[in-house]
C-alpha cells in the first residue's frame, strides 16, 4: 500500500465544473434505465463525480441547490451567482467539511483500534498499530530495508474493500520503505508464510487527507496481509 498524498481541492472544483456540464435534466427523472453501454458509462461518470465531492457531505436541501445550479447551467439560464466569486467559499467549505469528517472518522477509528488490541493474540505497537496473526509462518522476517511480496485486502471500518491483490489475482511487491508506516511496522512483525491482520490508525496510514475518493481523511484501515516472500534489500 503505497504512501502517497493527494491535494484534492482543485479536483473538487473540477468535479463541480463537471456537474455543471455533464448531465442533462433528463438524468433527474426517476426510474431511468441503463440500456446501453453509453448509458452505463455516463452513469459511471456521475458516480465518479459524486465520490469526488463526497467531502461536502451534502444534506438533502444542499443537494437541491447543487441540482439547481446544474439545471441553470445545462439550460443556459441566467446564473444566480458569479462562479469565480464563490470559488473561494467553495474551497473553504470543502476544507471545513473534510476536517469535520476526518474528526468523526478518527473517533470511530479509536474505538476500532481499542477493540482490535483486545483480540486474542493481538500485539499493539507504540504507534497504535495492531498486529494479529491469523496464520503462523515459519520463514524469515523482513527488515525495513527489504522488499517483500504479499497478497492483501484493505478495508474501511464498514467493511468496504478499497484495494485487493486477491481480486487482481496478482501479488504485490514493494520496499517496506515506500509504504504507509502501518505496513512498514506491521510486516516486520511477520514471518514468511504468515497471514496477519493489521489495524492501522489514520496517523499510521493516510492521515488527515486520506486517499479520496476511496479512503476518507482520518480513516482507520484494516488489512489482511499474507507475507509470501522477502526478496532482499
pTM, rounded to two decimals: 0.68
Interval 3-21 mean pLDDT: 46
Question: What's the pLDDT score for residue 14?
Answer: 45
C-alpha triplet 107, 110, 113: angle, nearest 5°: 150
Question: What's the pLDDT score for residue 138?
Answer: 93
In CATH terms, 1-233 corresponds, of 3.10.50.40, 3.30.230.10, 3.90.550.10, 3.40.50.2020, to 3.10.50.40
Provide the mean pLDDT of the chain: 86
13 or 122: which leads in pLDDT: 122
| CA–CA separation, 132 and 120 (whole Å) | 8
Contact, 233 vs 147, CB < 8 A? yes
Contact, 205 vs 156, CB < 8 A? no
Interval 141-158 mean pLDDT: 96
26 or 108: which leads in pLDDT: 108
Question: What's the pLDDT score for residue 30?
Answer: 55
Q: What is the pLDDT of residues 185-207, one digit of tens each?
A: 999 999 999 999 999 999 999 99
> pLDDT band at 42, cuts 50/70/90?
confident
Burial 68-92 (b: 16+ CB within 10 A, else e): ebbeebbeeeeeeeeeeeeeeeeee
> pLDDT band at 70, cuts 50/70/90?
confident
| CA–CA separation, 220 and 10 (whole Å) | 25
> pLDDT band at 233, cuts 50/70/90?
low
Cell of 12: 473538487
Amino acid at each position: 500500500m503505497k504512501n502517497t498524498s493527494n491535494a484534492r481541492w482543485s479536483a473538487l472544483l473540477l468535479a463541480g465544473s463537471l456537474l455543471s456540464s455533464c448531465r442533462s435534466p433528463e438524468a433527474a427523472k426517476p426510474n431511468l434505465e441503463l440500456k446501453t453501454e453509453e448509458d452505463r458509462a455516463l452513469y459511471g461518470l456521475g458516480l465518479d463525480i459524486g465520490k469526488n465531492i463526497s467531502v461536502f457531505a451534502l444534506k438533502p436541501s444542499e443537494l437541491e441547490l447543487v441540482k439547481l445550479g446544474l439545471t441553470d447551467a445545462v439550460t443556459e439560464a441566467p446564473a444566480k451567482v458569479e462562479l469565480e466569486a464563490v470559488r473561494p467559499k467553495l474551497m473553504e467549505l470543502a476544507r471545513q467539511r473534510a476536517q469535520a469528517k476526518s474528526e468523526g472518522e478518527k473517533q470511530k477509528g479509536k474505538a476500532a483500534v481499542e477493540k482490535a488490541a483486545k483480540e486474542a493474540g493481538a500485539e499493539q505497537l507504540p504507534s497504535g498499530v495492531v498486529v494479529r496473526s491469523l496464520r503462523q509462518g515459519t520463514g524469515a522476517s523482513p527488515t525495513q530495508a527489504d522488499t517483500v511480496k504479499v497478497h492483501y485486502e484493505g478495508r474501511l471500518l464498514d467493511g468496504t474493500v478499497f484495494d485487493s491483490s486477491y481480486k487482481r489475482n496478482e501479488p504485490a511487491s514493494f520496499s517496506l520503505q515506500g509504504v504507509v508506516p502501518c505496513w512498514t511496522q506491521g510486516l516486520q512483525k511477520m514471518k514468511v508464510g504468515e497471514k496477519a491482520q493489521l489495524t492501522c490508525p489514520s496517523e499510521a496510514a493516510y492521515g488527515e487527507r486520506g486517499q479520496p475518493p476511496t479512503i476518507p481523511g482520518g480513516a482507520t484501515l484494516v488489512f489482511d496481509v499474507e507475507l509470501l516472500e522477502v526478496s532482499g534489500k
